[in-house]
Chains A and B, each alone.
Chain A
Amino acid sequence: MDILKKTGRLLTVQIIRRKWWIIGVAVLLVLLSLFFSQRIIIRTQLKDLLPESNRRVQSYTRITELFTTSSIILSFEGDDRAEIIQAARDTREYIENDPGIAAFITAIQLELPDDFIEHWGLYMQKSDDIRRSRSLFSRLNLLPFLRALNDNFESSYTGDSAEEEILTNQDEGEMVGIMSNMERAMLLLRDYLENPDTASSAKKAEELAAIFAIGDTYSFDAEGSMLLMTLVPSFSISDYDSLLSMMPEFRRVFHEIRRRHPGLRIGYTGDLTREFDEQAALSFDLLVPGLIALLLILILFVFSFQQVRAVLLALVSLLVGIILDVGIIGVTLGELNILTTSFAVILIGLGIDFAIHLVSNFTDFRSRGMPEEEALAETFRKAGVSVLIGGITTAIAFFMLMFSDSRAISQFGFIAGCGILTCLASTLILLPALLLAFGARQQRASRRYIIDYSFLGSLGRFCQKQRIPVLAAVVIITAICAFSAAGNRVEYNIENLTVTDSPSSITEDRIREGFNLSPQASMTTAASIEEARSLSEALKQEFLVARVASVADFIPSPVESRQRLKELSLFRNNPPSYQQEYRYDHARLEDLVYEIQRLEWNMIEIGDLSVTNLGEENLILKKRNSMIREIFGAEVGRPGREVFQHLIESLESEQENSMRLLERLDADFAPAMLNLIRPMMQTERPMEIEDIPESYRLELISPEGGHFLVSIQPTKAVANEAEFMNFDRRMKEINPAITGTVQMAIDWTREMVTESRRASVYVFTAIMVLLLLTFRRVVPALISAVFLIISLIIMFGIFPLLGIRLNLMSVLALPMIIGMGIDYAVHIIHRYMLEGDIGTSMTWSGKAVLLSGVTTGFGFGSLALFGSMAAISSFGGALFIGVMVCLVLTITLLPAVSGFPGLLRRRQSQHNQELTT
């Protein structure tokens, strides 16, 4: 302590002599820091935050090195399918020809290429399905085809010896696709019958044939109102420079596309755009909450101190401290992450504390008539030591985090620790120089309202006098909170912690609802196609897996391939045929009506059967209800589009006309069907990797051909906490190498919880040692320790009561509160041990402590209220609660403890000095 006092005296002398020199050096350092700050980039990827030894990070890194896993997804929504497809095609053409964006895009996935379908359309089906296709396509005139179609449905799903069951989410998706095709076909037929002149029968016939022979080559949702297009970038998500260069071009192109198609809702999402949105949000969080906190602090200071100039100078010194820290980041780390972007607000809240004590004491001494230099010397004597100790303890708390294995936490500890030291240095060196150079020369009584903090002295005396009830109340509250703290839960789902109102997030939500997909894809690699196939098959059986994509979707096993080729050769030997000039009389019209009715029955019954396997909330049932009607057993519910009944009505309303139009259509329909099917029948060899469309090949196969990607998309059910964890567990059981956002989020959260606990122990130990050295007595150090423990119990007890869940950021509140909360206790205990009177101590130091706590609360509170990322705002919220709890206990519990004689007695040396004086 003597060393510190001597240092304080020396510092005072130097500041008084060299104040202008100090200010000049500070300006220079600020300029240098601003220069180096330009090097800083913001990284938001989870994999950058976990230890590099983490297995899933290693797996993820390896996969992203081998494959282009990043993407941008465009969604096109509207009521008219043709308009949606046209808009998507326009967009594709525009992007391919725009020099600004084309350089960043390797491939665009909108539909399966026509030439691919032409060659491999039938081969892509399972051998059983090809066999059924032989009977389905044996007679291509419309009526016999529909009859065969119904027979096919009944033999597959609802009729004699039905073989298929709708068991998995993939089955569900495929059936919805089939039903969508039936709906399109019925709508097309009806449109043709009712508006025969809008397009030629040949065109309509071709479209109808394409629906039946090929199906839908686009990625529409179940309702057919949302189409997805994927842009495959030429760079990986780790290439920030390319990302930053691409996004402005992408935004320009996107706005142009929207301008061209005002009738459609067009959105974008994907990991690249999410990354960019998160960076923007973090940039916002870096600046805006800090500015708000500064403004609130300024307002509070204006009403707390006579000297406004001193307040402004305090804020200047704080800003200098923060800018110096930014410079250190620029020189050393060169980056910020999701955790460290909050450093500015934290430093505002914490760094101002030092200035508050200094300014508070300085202005008080000046108000008593002391000259500036004497006031400064007295300030250092009375408050300097505790400011220094408080700053060092807080810095130690942060530096302890550097021992973490997590790069994110380690960086956070370094940045925050350095920031505390730069703010401390700025406060102890620059601020006094500024006060001496620019502070008010004469004390003028202000006409402005100034908050009277003397109530703190009264409160302190009251608590000291009523120490037993106060202590009892604290014990009871602590006990309740200890019980409540057992209800703390950890949030693992990263989706709940990121930006929720960005354009990417909004589009993501719409895709989630439309396609029953979670955007949190997982992935792994396989060393062979067979391994990819085996993995895919296992994954498709999982309840929480919506889609699995791998090269196995294209290339079957050798055995299956032989069977398919065999079926195709049988197909060639018995090719489809049709009757030219197929006539429709009343009997055939009636038969056609019957087959359409039968088709409706099949759709209805497939819907019923889907309920038994998938429940009432499945997409097949929803599709059925919307395209036909809602059905409950023998009862009818809400009307649907009645696509089948309306077609039947159209057929029966003008029978003669219908017959004539059907003949005309059939004359083109059957040949169109044959033209589509004949090439597909000609496949005589197995598919090879080179046959896969390029965009899919790039996505699923590594450049050297030795690795095969298996991409897994979970259902939206993983938004539920239990299913989120269950998904991780099931993926691990199937293949421990499966990695992705879900897995890394869980690992990172677990990591943060572990590191938080570990850091807390380090911080607590370090602080206790420091307090013992400072107080040189066990009792005050012990009281501080108990104060801290009670604060933490109450803090963690409040969280469940307010419905707050811990997450990967808010768990860091624990070590931080240990480092910060102790400051308030140290100031009061230290002042009391000097003054010997709680009223005096609370009046003089209490004001500074209260202002310190409130301003820190402003800092964290602004993060909580204005942070755009949920993780950041929860971090601010947890810290806010912690700081407020520590503050309240400081001004109530400590005075109560001081009421027990002998616990916090004045130091003997101090006492002796006063006696001799």
Chain B
Amino acid sequence: MKKRKILCAMLICASTLWAETALEIIRRVDERQHSATSEQKMLMRVYPSLASDTGVREFRISSVSRSDDESFMVFEEPRTIKGMKILSRGDDRWVHFPSTGRVRKIVGESKKQSVQGVGGDFSYEDLGGGTLEEDYRTRLLEESESFFIIEGIPVDSDSAYSRLVFEIEKESYRTLKIQYHTEKEGHLKDLFFRDYTVMGGKEIARSMEMINRHRERRTEVLILESRFDGPVDEKLFNPTRFYR
């Protein structure tokens, strides 16, 4: 009986230690990537087919983000939608069409949907703010000399994903890859982070590539400029003023 109690105590300590390690890693990741505000210029290329460049769509976008779920973006290219602005606040989105001068409140909710279509294989959930610690229950799956492999189960039951798997570089706590899994499709997408560079005082992955394995398409995002934790214009997050 006594031996059994000791064994249980050891197991509880070990599991606590294990959970802490995964959590600690995720916290370190959050620390290095979290910012109160960010301003970025990016180039996004959506490849409808992995096999070739047929039908590739290229967008040049400027974006401003603050807190976890507020973002503003404006299209600079292609020419047809130059000046189109999108404001996201929580689950609500507004679009300003420079072609008509109107502001419309667009897609109300679905996180699964591609970012106003533009995001290609990036959904709102993928780009959403929030910390990994808050959004996922984590567990360390594997540890090698160079990497941590961490599983994250979304806390939100409405999440489009059943689990995520993070590949994190040990030395620097850079995220190198995220696998996205769903109940229906299984291993659905891979997000690769490449070319880590210091921009705006923060080290970020200059290049990201999301590959949709199910639909055999991919989206590339190249960060051209970046600034973090600077002051942002309040007007940009006001639905009645963001387009002026």
Contacts and interface: CB of A to CB of B under 8 A. Distances in A.
Interface residues of B, number: 37
B104 A154 contact: yes
Interface in B211-236: 215-217
B57 A615 contact: yes
A541 interface: yes
Given A631-B99, A634-B98, A634-B99, A608 B105 contact: no
Interface string A597-630: 0000100110111011111110001000000000
A250 interface: no
A723 B56 CA distance: 13
Interface in A677-696: none
Main secondary structure of the interface of B (DSSP, over half): loop
Interface stretch (B3-11, B13-21, B74-82, B123-131): B74-82
Contact of B81 (A161, A612, A725, A726): A612
Nearest to A629: B99
Interface string B36-80: 000000000000111110111101000000000000000000111
B117 interface: yes
A161 B109 CA distance: 8
B52 A722 contact: yes
Contacts of A162: 104, 106-108
B82 A633 contact: yes
A631 B97 CA distance: 11
Interface string A711-746: 000000100101101100110000000000000000
A634 B83 contact: yes
B84 A608 contact: yes
Given A161-B108, A612-B118, A633 B99 contact: yes
Chain A contact residues (Cβ within 8 angstroms of B): what range? 35 or more
A632 interface: yes
B140 to A, nearest CB: 34
A848 B36 CA distance: 89
B157 interface: no
B55 A611 contact: no
Interface in A253-308: none
A480 interface: no
Given A159-B104, A612-B116, A544 B49 contact: yes
Nearest to B56: A615
A725 B55 CA distance: 16
B80 A633 contact: yes
Nearest to B57: A615
A704 interface: no
B108 to A, nearest CB: 4
B35 interface: no
Interface in A403-432: none
B144 interface: no
With most chain B CB atoms within 10 A of its CB, the pick from A166, A167, A541, A615 is A615
Interface in B92-150: 95, 97-100, 102, 104-109, 113-114, 116-118
Which of B51, B56, B95, B102 has the most CB atoms of chain A within a 10 A radius of its CB? B51
A165 interface: yes
Contact of B80 (A167, A611, A729): A611
Given A608-B84, A611-B78, A631-B80, A726 B52 contact: yes
A165 B117 contact: yes
B162 to A, nearest CB: 21
A160 interface: yes
B176 to A, nearest CB: 28
A20 interface: no
Given A161-B108, A543-B55, A730-B216, A608 B80 contact: yes
Contact of B51 (A159, A166, A725): A725
Contacts of B99: 604-605, 607-608, 631, 633-634
Given A723-B49, A726-B51, A633 B84 contact: yes
B117 A609 contact: yes
A604 B106 contact: no
A543 B57 CA distance: 13
A633 B101 CA distance: 10
A162 B52 CA distance: 32
A825 B106 CA distance: 77
A166 B116 CA distance: 11
Contacts of B57: 611, 614-616
Contact of A543 (B104, B105, B116, B217): B217
B78 A717 contact: no
B47 to A, nearest CB: 10
Nearest to B93: A162
A604 B97 contact: yes
A158 interface: yes
B223 to A, nearest CB: 20
Contacts of A158: 95, 104, 106
Nearest to A167: B117
Contacts of B84: 608, 633
Contacts of A165: 107, 113, 117
Nearest to A161: B108
Given A608-B97, A634-B98, A543 B48 contact: yes
B52 A616 contact: no
A722 B47 CA distance: 13
A723 B82 contact: no
A165 B123 CA distance: 14
Given A720-B54, A722-B54, A605 B105 contact: no
A157 to B, nearest CB: 9
Contacts of B215: 541, 543
Contacts of B52: 720, 722-723, 726
B200 to A, nearest CB: 27
Given A158-B106, A723-B49, A633 B55 contact: no
Nearest to A636: B99
Nearest to B82: A633
Contacts of B98: 633-634
Nearest to B217: A543
A728 to B, nearest CB: 10
A611 B81 contact: yes
Nearest to B107: A162
Contacts of A166: 117
B106 A612 contact: no
Contacts of B80: 607-608, 611, 616, 621, 631-633
The 3 closest A-B pairs by CB, nearest first: A722-B52, A633-B82, A613-B117
5 contacts: A158-B106, A162-B107, A543-B49, A601-B100, A726-B216
Given A543-B48, A634-B98, A723-B54, 19 more contacts: A158-B95, A159-B104, A160-B104, A161-B109, A166-B117, A541-B215, A543-B55, A601-B100, A605-B104, A608-B81, A609-B116, A611-B57, A617-B55, A621-B80, A631-B99, A633-B99, A635-B82, A717-B55, A726-B49
